[in-house]
Amino acid sequence: MGFPAVGSTASRLLSRTRRGTVLANPKLAQRQPRSPRGGLGGSRSMNTRSRTIASFFSVAMAAMLFGAVVTSQIQRPMAAEARNLDPAASPPPVGPGGSITLDTFKEIARRQTAGVVNIGTKKVVRRGRGNEQGLQELFGDDFMERFFGPQGNGSGGNETQRSLGSGFVVDKDGTILTNRHVIDGADEITVSVGRHDYVAKLLGKDARTDVALLKIEPKEPLTVLALGNSDETEVGEWVMAVGNPFGLGGNSVTVGVVSYKGRAIPLGVVRGTSVDMIQTDAAINPGNSGGPLLNTRGEVIGINTLIITRGVAASAGVGFAVPINVAKEILPQLRQRGKVIRGWLGVQIQPLSDDMARTYRMKDNKGALISDVTSDSPAEKAGLKADDVVVGVDGKAVEDNSDLSRYIASKSPGTTVHLRVLRGGAEQTIAVTLGTFPEETADADEGAGRRGQLGMTLRNLTPDMADRLELPRTSKGVVVTAVEAGEAAEEAGLARGDVIVSVNGSAIASVADFEREIDRARPDGIARLRVRRAGDYSFLVLKLK
């Protein structure tokens, strides 16, 4: 892209100067009579040749100086050495004094791509008998394309779905970072590193950030990628995206710049939440999901996650990566617990525009405006109300809604925080004891809870899901998103896309409700489910193993 063109400016200009000096005015050369010695004849021709040679050297020197000036303008000081987990993670050289050279990206590709892995997943599900149309879009966002979707064939029976993605090695023991959506729901995860294929173990995953952690047992030393500091990344910096586009195999690299920082993008996994993403124009395509976004020191600054397209599943120059600092914050919990437990306030918040701030007679637009308070949440119990403006927390100023969200998410459940709130033109301090973010509970239920015992994966029915299933937006229940072959759910006749609305006559509105009623029915060994499928209701008997 741009830099190689800039870096070669001097050589191209010098080349053009040579041609221009010798052949710039061929008519003049033709007009000069030749001397007996074959040179340009007469003193005038000698003077002309001298001036021509002098002009050549002047322009050549100017071209070289121009190239030096341009190169110096793109130099930047070397940041502190990355926090390497292994000697193999040492960033590649980027030129004397930290400058970018024509070999920078070549060196990054040569040394760092060996630490990028290809990930393949396999999931066996029972193919639904109805309501299949639109289910492939169930987990996608209306305006964003996931990098790849499950592929399956056949009109009935069991279906094997396969998908491909990317990841990267973060320590010499074989720990790998990727996206949650790359491996979510998989029965088998295969990681390809160089000439070897490994069956990977899922250490943990987090729906809110779309991050997952895998583990392999390497047969030979691995190339470990250093994790950089995404907070220090600046708009306009050169970056390289690495991954396995379209499942072609091997690792491809593309180069671009950081287009924007802090782009709040809803990942479509947890309703009402978003991650401040890094936007880049480095080409990202299906299959790159989970691969690293590298800076010019070869450090990982982001995890390539999604793209925005116009209906075509390919790069449109608008790609997004989860900042690596977001992943680093949750790595310890993923290693130890397999999931992330966050504090929960229970409010919907929005940023303050200048005009909105004036209606509150505020001097600036700093703060987070509470637009709604969740029923029976810690916020409601503490007395927070819609129309409150949170301007501080625990003695720190709240700049915007993202600022407040990140702070609350960084706290453990049971922690008491003190919010400085503007209400009716007056400030007051309200103490709130945080609860557990509900999604973490649901995610644990889906991943490691009843799925292993009953052979199905459930998700809360949201209005958006109801739309895609052609149900009223006010519908309540839990959606069956996967059914394992040979397990209790399949034996009961459940299929993907079914909506469970009651268990033994008790209405179900969430995965937590389902879990509670199943636990109550466990002594009897069976449970009666009322299921809605393609608009019709039926009862099924689920045997509880």
Residues 361 and 449 in one domain: no
Residue with the bigger pLDDT between 48 and 407: it is: 407
Instruction: Give the range among 116-120, 170-174, 439-443 with minimum mean pLDDT.
Output: 439-443
Please give the model's pTM, rounded to 2 decimal places.
0.58
Lowest mean pLDDT among 27-31, 151-155, 166-170, 411-415: 27-31
Quote the pLDDT of residue 250.
73
Report the chain's C-alpha Rg in angstroms: 30
Return the higher-pLDDT residue of 154 and 121: 121
The per-residue pLDDT for 14 is 34
Kindly state the average pLDDT of the residues 351-368. 89
| Mean pLDDT estimate for the chain | 75
Most confident of 230-244, 276-290, 461-475: 230-244
Whether 84 has a pLDDT exceeding 80, the answer reads no
The per-residue pLDDT for 436 is: 86
Instruction: Give the model confidence (pLDDT) of 361-419 as tens digits.
Output: 899 999 999 988 888 899 999 999 999 999 999 999 999 888 898 899 888 899 999 99
Q: Is the pLDDT of residue 308 over 50?
A: yes
CA 287 to CA 315: how far, in whole Å?
Answer: 11
Helix, strand or coil, per DSSP, at residue 62 = helix
Angle at 202 between CA 198 and CA 205, to 5 degrees: 140
Greater confidence (352 vs 445) lies with 352
Band of the pLDDT at 153, cuts 50, 70, 90? very low
Same domain, 222 and 239: yes
CATH number at residue 474: 2.30.42.10
Decide which of 285, 312, 338 is a domain's last residue. 338
Nearest-angstrom CA–CA distance, 254 and 322: 17
Distance of CA 9 to the CA centre of its chain: 35
Task: Report the pLDDT averaged over residues 284-300.
Answer: 91
Q: Please report which confidence band the pLDDT of residue 313 belongs to, taking 50, 70 and 90 as the band edges.
A: low
287, 313, 338 — which closes off a domain?
338
Q: pLDDT tens digits for 206-230?
A: 988 899 999 999 999 999 999 999 9
At 88, which CATH number? 2.40.10.120
Rounded to 10°, the helix 9-23/42-73 angle is: 170
- Residue 325 in tokens: 């600092």
Question: pLDDT-based confidence at 349, cuts 50/70/90?
Answer: confident
Lowest mean pLDDT among 16-20, 56-60, 149-153: 16-20
- DSSP 8-state secondary structure symbol assigned to residue 247: G
Residues 243 and 314 in one domain: yes
3-state percent helix, strand, coil for the chain, nearest multiple of 5: 30, 30, 40
Task: Report the range of poorest mean pLDDT among 69-73, 98-102, 163-167.
Answer: 69-73
Question: In Å, what is the CA distance from 423 to each residue of 198, 390, 429, 433, 478?
Answer: 57, 9, 10, 20, 38
- Alpha carbon dihedral 310, 316, 322, 325, in 10-degree steps, equals -150
Coil/strand/helix, residue 437: coil
- 476 and 523 inside one domain: yes
Residues 164 and 288 in one domain: yes
pLDDT for the residue numbered 62: 45
Looking at residue 76, its pLDDT comes to 36
Assess contact for 168 and 292: CB atoms under 8 A.
yes
Same domain, 374 and 445: no
| Whether residue 91 sits in one domain with residue 223 | yes
pLDDT in tens, 115-152: 999 999 988 765 544 444 444 444 343 333 444 344 44
Domain count, the chain: 4
Across residues 179-204, what is the average pLDDT? Answer: 91
User: 430 forms bridges with which residues in the sheet?
Assistant: 419
**pLDDT value, residue 264:** 74
Q: Tens of pLDDT along 334-345? A: 999 898 888 999
- The whole-angstrom separation of Cα 98 and Cα 531 is 63
What span, in angstroms and rounded, lies between the C-alpha atoms of 333 and 331? Answer: 5
SS (H, E, C) 11-35: HHHHHHHHHHHHHCCHHHHHHCCEC
The domain of 291 spans 76-338
Give 458-483 as a DSSP string. EEE--HHHHHHTT--TT--SEEEEEE
Calculate what percentage of the chain has a pLDDT beyond 90.
35
Q: Is the pLDDT of residue 252 over 80?
A: yes
Q: Identify the DSSP state of 40.
A: B
Same domain for 127 and 158? Answer: yes
Higher pLDDT, 40 or 51: 51
Identify which of 313, 336, 240 has the alpha carbon closest to the alpha carbon of residue 282. 240
Q: Are residues 333 and 284 in the same domain?
A: yes
Q: What is the pLDDT, as a whole number, of residue 141?
A: 38
Q: Single out the residue in 17, 39, 73 at which a domain terminates.
A: 73
Position 237 scores a pLDDT of 94
Residues 319 and 373 placed together within one structural domain of the fold: no
Q: What is the predicted pLDDT for the residue at 332?
A: 93
Question: Rounded mean pLDDT of 153-168?
Answer: 72
- Residues carrying an active site annotation: 181, 210, 289
- Same domain membership, residue 122 and residue 143: yes
Find out whether 379 and 387 touch, Cβ atoms under 8 Å: no
Distance CA(415)–CA(436), nearest Å, equals 10
Position 11 pLDDT exceeds 80: no
d(CA 186, CA 121): 6
Residue percentage of the chain with pLDDT more than 70: 69
45 has pLDDT over 80: no
386 and 420 fall within a common domain: yes
Q: What is the pLDDT of residues 364-378, one digit of tens each?
A: 999 999 988 888 899
- Name the more confident of 203 and 317: 203
Mean pLDDT, range 7-25, rounded to an integer: 34
